[in-house]
Amino acid sequence: MSDRARHPPRGLIGAAPAPPDDFVAAGPELRREGGFPVGWLIAPATLWLLIFLVLPLLSIVVFSLWNTREAAEELGFTLQYYGEYFIAEGFFDSTSRNFLSTSIFIKTLGSTLYFTLVVMALCLLVGYPIAYFLAMQVGSFKWQMALFLLCMVPFWTSYLIRAVAWLPMLGRRGLLNKMLVGLGIVDKPVGVLLYSEFGYTTALVQLYVVLCIGPIFFSLAKIDNAILEAARDMGATPFQIFREIIVPLSLPGVAIGMIFIFVMLMGEFATAVVVYGGKTSTTGTVILNYYAIANYPFAAVNALVLMLAMMIGVVIILKLVDIRKEL
């Protein structure tokens, strides 16, 4: 019996052990009514969220429909920005080279989605074994927590600085090139590392992988050792145990981690500028550029479509995996 089974992880975040049995059995109706009035407890935060979360999102919706091209006295709403968002100029013109082609915005959204999916897959590939190692292989609770915190520390440091730190690694005279030359893999330094798809993807994986390690670790750590031992006693091979028990039970954690990375990456804009040298645009950079030239309706339309795309993505992940057990 390992140390882990006797001491379920009790960490800084999440992974709380179940409440005492009698607490559940007694039910809310048997507990005495006490505590401060709910209304007072929730009022400040609710008001705050209303002003700084709900209203700004509504503002995006309003601005995406607001016809700012008309004279100011003729206040009106229009769908024309949405039309221009989806189809390129010259869509209906058979002589135009943009005939029946989608707009640059849709293409940008597509490439943003492409990078997002690639990085999500890589994060899962890189992060899952780490979470598995921490939850299943590290015996003592103390070490488990220490090694887990070591993984999580970058999350609490500046993401922008971590992106900047990739510059001396990836450049033509960077460390990675030195290593490649030193190992004899390439003859002379290659220029494709920085300001390239490769460098961009690598940096994004490093920046975001910690976000999925936490949730996967917590769902793995919750797996009861008795189940694994029972499977072992019945003659299951380690691979069977992994495929039949560990993977299914860790799926909620995987889903939460993937949702987290998905929404962050879809809204990503800073790394594209720092590590990709602004050579590619993400929907995030498009939004900022239109804001900078005070074209708010277009910034808003881009933002709104991005939000819808993200919602669809999150719903798809939630349909694939039931995370309610985890919450």
CA angle in degrees (0–180, nearest 5) for 193-195-201: 70
Residue choice 109, 246, 255, 274 for contact with other proteins (CB under 8 A): 274
Among 6, 20, 25, 187, binds other proteins (CB under 8 A): 20
| Closer by beta carbon to other proteins, 218 or else 251 | 218
**Residues numbered 84-143 forming contacts with other proteins, rule: CB under 8 A:** 126, 129-130, 132-134, 137
- Interface with other proteins in residues 142-181 (CB under 8 A): 147, 149-151, 153-154, 156-162, 164-169, 171, 173-175, 178
How many residues bind other proteins (CB under 8 A)? The answer is 91
State the helix-helix crossing angle for 247-266 and 104-132, rounded to 10 degrees.
140
Does 192 interact with other proteins (rule: CB under 8 A)? no
Long-range contacts of 117-122 (CB under 8 A, 24+ apart): 118/201, 119/201, 119/204, 119/205, 119/208, 119/261, 119/265, 120/258, 120/261, 120/262, 120/265, 122/201, 122/205, 122/209
Answer yes or no: are the C-beta atoms of 170 and 194 closer than 8 Å: yes
Q: Among residues 87, 249, 307, 317, which is the contact residue for other proteins, using CB under 8 A?
A: 307
Q: Binding of other proteins at residue 51 (CB under 8 A)?
A: yes
Q: Which is nearer to other proteins, 91 or 159 (CB)?
A: 159
Near other proteins by CB under 8 A: residue from 2, 46, 96, 140? 46
318 lies in the binding site for other proteins (CB under 8 A)? no
Q: Is 296 in the site for other proteins (CB under 8 A)?
A: yes
Q: Between 117 and 153, whose beta carbon lies closer to other proteins?
A: 153
Buried (b) or exposed (e) across 47-70, using 16+ Cβ within 10 A?
eeeeeeeeeeeeebeebbbbeeee
| Interaction pattern, residues 237-266, with other proteins; x per rule: CB under 8 A | ----------------------xx--xx-x
Residue with tokens 């989605």: 113
Given the rule CB under 8 A, which of 54-62, 76-84, 116-124, 219-227 is the region that contacts other proteins? 54-62
How many CA within 13 A on the CB side of residue 53? 6
